[in-house]
Amino acid sequence: MLDVSGLECVRGDRRLFKDICFSLRPGALLQVHGPNGSGKTSLLRMLCGLVAPAHGDIQWQGSSIRAMGEEYFRAVTYLGHLPAVKDDLSALENLLISAELSGIQLSEEKAIVALRRMGLGGREMLPAKVLSQGQRRRVALARLLVAGTTLWILDEPLTALDSAAVQLMQTIMEEHLRKGGMVILTTHQELSVPGVTTQRLELAP
Amino acid sequence: MSDAGMFAILRCAIRRDLVLAMRRRADVLTTLFFFVIVVSLFPLGVGPEVNLLRSMGPGVVWVAALLASMLSLGRLFSGDHRDGTLEQMLLTPQPLPLLVFGKVVAHWLSSGVPLVFMAPVLGMQFGLSQDAVLVLMATLLLGTPVLSMIGAIGAALTLGLRGGGVLVSLLVLPLYIPVLIFGAGAVEASASGLGAQAHMSLLGAFLVASLLLAPWATAAALRISME
C-alpha cells in the first residue's frame, strides 16, 4: 500500500501544492482533479519517483521510495503525457523492448495478444510513425497489460482515445483493481469504475 | 541482480539503439560525411606541400573526429527525451548507469567505429605512411570511445535546454583536449622514432577511467535533467 504524508511541490519560486496526505489500499482507485497548472502531473511524477518532493514522504509497503530506489520500480508502471513509443520501431518491437528493459519475460505471442486486446490486431508490425495518435496511445496502454505491476500511475490516459477504447480502459482498470491492484490517475473526463473504492483528490488552483 | 541478467539488459539496450541507428541511417551517414569533408578541406586549402601536410595530417584527422563525435551527441539522448522513452528508462528496475553504458556503446559503434575505418582513406590525402596510418587508427580506436563517454555527460547535462547544442560544445570540447593531444601526438612520436607506446598507454588509461566514471556521472546528470 501507498502512504503519502505532507507532500509539497515547489516549481521555481511558486508553490504548487502542500500538505497532500492520502493512503491507498489494494483495490483502490485515486482520481486526481484540478484545473490546468495545479500540479497534477508534478504530483504523479513525484509519486513514481521521478521528482523529489520539496517536503513530505512517500512510503510504499512501509518503506520510503527514496530508500527503495530501483526496487520500487518493480511495483510501479507510469504512463505520462508522452506515449514513450519509438516511431522507427513497430508496435510489437516497442512493447517487447520496453518489457525486456523492465525485466519482464514476455514472449512474442503474449505481446501480440496484448496488442490485439488493445485493438491493434493486424497493425503489430507497422512502424509506429504510421499509427495515429490514438493508436500510439493504445500501444503505450498495452504495456499495462503485460507489466504485472501493482501500482499504475496514469497521467491523462484517456487523451486521444475513442469511446470504445475509453470503455476498454475502464474494463482493464476494473480487472486490475479486482485483483488487488491500485490505480492513480488524472483525467478531465468523469470516470466511473463500478464496485470499486474511488478516492478523489482535489488540487487547488 | 545476477550477472547473466545484467548482461542481457546491457545487450538489449545496445541492440535497441543499434536497430534505431540502422533505421535512421541518414543521421549516421551525415556525421561520417561531415568527418570526411572537414578533413578533405585542409589539403585543398593548404596546398600540395607534402611535408606540411604530412606533419599536420594526424592533428587534422583528430580535430575532425572530435567535431564529428560532438555533432552526433545530439542523437544520444534527445530523441528518447522527446518521445518519452528516456523517462521510461529512468523508471525501469535496472541500474541506470548500465542502461546509459549500453546507449553509449551503441553510440560509439554507430558513430565512432566508422571514423576509425575511414582514417586510412583520409590518411592518403595527407601522404601519411602505412605505419603512421596504423598508429592513427589505433589511437582513434582507443580515443573515440572516450569521446562518446565524456560527451554523454555533456549531452545529459544539457538535455532539454534551449541552445543545448552550442552549450554542449562549450562543456565537452575542453574535456576532449587531453585525448586530442595524446591521440595526435602518438602518430608524430612514432614517426620521429620515439615510439607511440607512452601515448597509447595514456589513451588506454583515459579509456579505462571514462568507462568506470562516465556512466555514473551521466546517470546522475540524467536524473537531474529529468526532474
Residue A182 pLDDT exceeds 90: yes
pLDDT band per the 50, 70, 90 thresholds, residue B216: very high
Asked if A71 and A16 touch (Cβ cutoff 8 Å), the reply is no
CB contact under 8 A, A50 and B83: no
pTM of the model: 0.91
> Residue A120: inside a domain, yes or no?
yes
| Alpha-carbon distance B187 to nearest alpha carbon in chain A (angstroms) | 41
Residue A33 C-alpha cell reads as 482533479
Pairing mode, strands A197-202 and A76-79: unpaired
Q: What is the mean pLDDT of chain B?
A: 91
d(C-alpha B198, C-alpha B37), whole Å: 31
pLDDT for A194 equals 75
Residue to test with chain B: of A89, A96, A100, A153, most B Cβ within 10 A = A100
Strand-pair partners of A199: A30
Q: How far is A166 from chain B (nearest CA, A)?
A: 22
Instruction: Tell me the C-alpha distance between A115 and A185, whole Å.
Output: 22
Closest to A39 (Cα-Cα) out of A66, A12, A11: A11
Spatial distance between the Cα atoms of B178 and B196, rounded to a whole number of angstroms: 15
Chain B touched by A164 (CB under 8 Å): no
pLDDT at A201: 87
CB-CB under 8 Å, B99 with A101: yes
Please tell me if residue A71 touches chain B, with a CB cutoff of 8 Å.
yes
Q: Which residues of B touch A (CB under 8 A)?
A: 5, 8-9, 12-13, 16, 19-20, 23-24, 82-85, 87-95, 99, 226-227
Instruction: Give the model's pLDDT for residue B75.
Output: 85
Give the nearest partner residue to A84 out of B88, B226, B227, using CB atoms. B88
pLDDT exceeds cutoff 70 at B146: yes
> Would you call A8 helix, strand, or coil by DSSP?
strand
B chain contacts of residue A80, beta-carbon cutoff 8 Å: 84, 87
* B179: three-class secondary structure by DSSP: helix
For residue A48, being part of any structural domain is answered with no
Beta-strand ranges (E) seen in B25-140 are: none
Look at B93 and A71 and tell me if their CB atoms are within 8 Å: yes
For B51, counting Cβ atoms within 10 Å of its Cβ (0-12 exposed, 13-18 middle, 19+ buried), the class is exposed
**Highest mean pLDDT out of A42-46, A146-150, A157-161, B202-206:** B202-206
DSSP class of A127 = B
- Nearest CB to B13: which of A70, A88, A101? A101
- Kindly list the residues from chain A whose CB atom is less than 8 angstroms away from the CB atom of residue B99: 101
**Mean per-residue pLDDT for A5-14?**
86
User: A160-174 burial string, b = 16+ CB within 10 Å, else e?
Assistant: ebeeebeebbeebbb
Would A72 be classed as within a structural domain? Answer: no
- Chain B: residue whose CA lies nearest to A136: B83
Q: What distance in Å separates residue A152's CA from the closest CA in chain B?
A: 12
Taking the alpha carbons at both ends of chain A, their separation in whole angstroms is 28
Give the sign of the dihedral formed by CA B43, CA B127, CA B181, CA B155: positive
Assess A43–B contact: CB distance below 8 Å, yes or no: no
Specify burial of residue B4 (Cβ count, 10 A radius: 0-12, 13-18, 19+).
Answer: exposed
- Least CB–CB distance from B12: residue in A73, A85, A97: A97
* Burial class, B26, CB count within 10 angstroms (exposed 0-12 / middle 13-18 / buried 19+): exposed
Residues of B in contact with A78 (CB under 8 A): 87-88, 91
In a domain, A18, yes or no: no
| Residue A145 · residue A122 · CB < 8 Å | no
Are the C-beta atoms of residues B64 and B56 closer than 8 Å to each other?
Answer: no
The total number of structural domains that make up chain A? 1
Distance from CA of B225 to the nearest CA of A (A): 10
Where residue B160 falls (left for φ over 0; alpha for ψ -120 to 50; beta otherwise) is left
Instruction: Choose, out of B2, B10, B23, B91, the residue to mutate when testing the contact with A (most A CBs < 10 Å).
Output: B91
- What is the reported pLDDT for B142? 94
- Cβ-defined contact of B93 to A97 (cutoff 8 Å): no
Cα B191 to chain centroid distance, Å, stands at 25
Q: Which of B150, B147, B114, B135 is nearest to B200 (CA)?
A: B135
pLDDT confidence band for B2 (50 / 70 / 90)? low
Answer whether A88 sits within 8 Å of B90, measured CB to CB. no
- CB contact at 8 A, A32 and A174: no
Tell me, yes or no, whether A113 lies in a domain.
yes
- The parent domain of residue A105 ranges over 85-148
Over the range B146-162, which residues count as b (16 or more CB within 10 Å of their CB) and which as e? bbbbbbbbbbbbbbeee
Asked whether residue A138 is domain-assigned, the answer is: yes
For residue B97, what pLDDT is reported? 94
Q: Indicate the range of A174-183, B30-39, B91-100, B154-163 predicted with least confidence.
A: B154-163
